[in-house]
Structure 1
């Protein structure tokens, strides 16, 4: 069957999903350096204009990968939180476990995407958006357990700890369990200080 007929069968959303999946595969198998829009087009079996229509630039593609990762992480965390008894310790454990597990699911690909995006406006905006979402979620979840509303500094400390511990796990510096335990203690300390 001609390739052009295959391409026409996918909706824009399906094509986008396919391109994202192929991009993750390229990063996993060949590294972030191998990921260019032209190479993605070749590996996905589409023309360059199709890829450029979805991402416009390499930074746009990497930003889309980061956003997709954040969406999965948030959905995983929200699903587990929804089933968790509303106690500070249980919620802290859920957040610590979900954050580290999501990073482990993506493996080494996510840090390399972040490194490739370093210094780009796309990464800065995505990180700001994610930080706002994460800190708002934590502020709301832990408000009933804190004498005072959690400060922005405390919430940023939670996020910074989660990011740093995740990086350490992915790079083999500490175990996943050590990261989960430490993040749990950081969250509880911030809530108790509040």
Structure 2
């Protein structure tokens, strides 16, 4: 019997497969188990294939965070485009999108984020994504504080609160609903204080 020839994946499809395998490893065993060799083994490919895509473990961790950040931003952007014009509407959308995105990713994202702080290069990657989110967040809420601007310290505080609340939801310390309500209330109060 003739078997159909095995088809090669495109580079993009292979990269996504490797990222999916890496997320599964982090979910099952934590980021400490994440090595390029282990990803190759679990994906059923040779080590050079994984090295070609990520070069180093740090490159893989950065790619995982980029993957998470891209999905998070797409969800939040779509939700914000559909949100009402009131501060309460926008705050509720940001809060629910942020909490839901972290909750969907589960315990893996706090683990990956912790690993990103392990080297100066990875910390710089994480910081750049945070700065990008802060600027996006600032532009969404700028109409509510015009003509002034939201102070950078305030933006860092809101981002820290969003991360802490989301992580508490993932850990089961608070419910998803409690997390979204608290984050929404915090955003409203903070933006109102800046206006």
Structure 1: gaps of 5 or more residues: none
In structure 2, the residue matched to 1:173 is: 173
Is the contact made by 2:145 and 2:191 (CA closer than 8 Å) also made in structure 1? yes
Post-superposition Cα deviations, 1:112-136, rounded to whole Å, max 9, x if no partner, equal 1122332223431222222222111
Alpha-carbon RMSD across the aligned residues, in angstroms, is: 1.5
In structure 1, the residue matched to 2:129 is: 130
Structure 2: gaps of 5 or more residues: none
Is the contact made by 1:60 and 1:122 (CA closer than 8 Å) also made in structure 2? no
Is the contact made by 1:19 and 1:40 (CA closer than 8 Å) also made in structure 2? yes
Q: TM-score, normalized by length of structure 1?
A: 0.91
User: Following the alignment from structure 1 to structure 2, what is the Cα–Cα distance between the partners of residues 187 and 134?
Assistant: 15
Is the contact made by 2:116 and 2:126 (CA closer than 8 Å) also made in structure 1? no
Which stretch of structure 1 is more off in the superposition, 134-143 or 88-97? 134-143
Post-superposition Cα deviations, 1:70-101, rounded to whole Å, max 9, x if no partner, equal 11101000011111112111000000000000
Which stretch of structure 1 is more off in the superposition, 32-41 or 89-98? 32-41
Is the contact made by 2:99 and 2:179 (CA closer than 8 Å) also made in structure 1? yes
1:54 counterpart = 2:53 = yes
Post-superposition Cα deviations, 1:13-72, rounded to whole Å, max 9, x if no partner, equal 111111001111122223322221111111111111110111111111111111110111
User: Following the alignment from structure 1 to structure 2, what is the Cα–Cα distance between the partners of residues 158 and 117?
Assistant: 20
1:77 counterpart = 2:76 = yes
User: Following the alignment from structure 2 to structure 1, what is the Cα–Cα distance between the partners of residues 114 and 126?
Assistant: 13
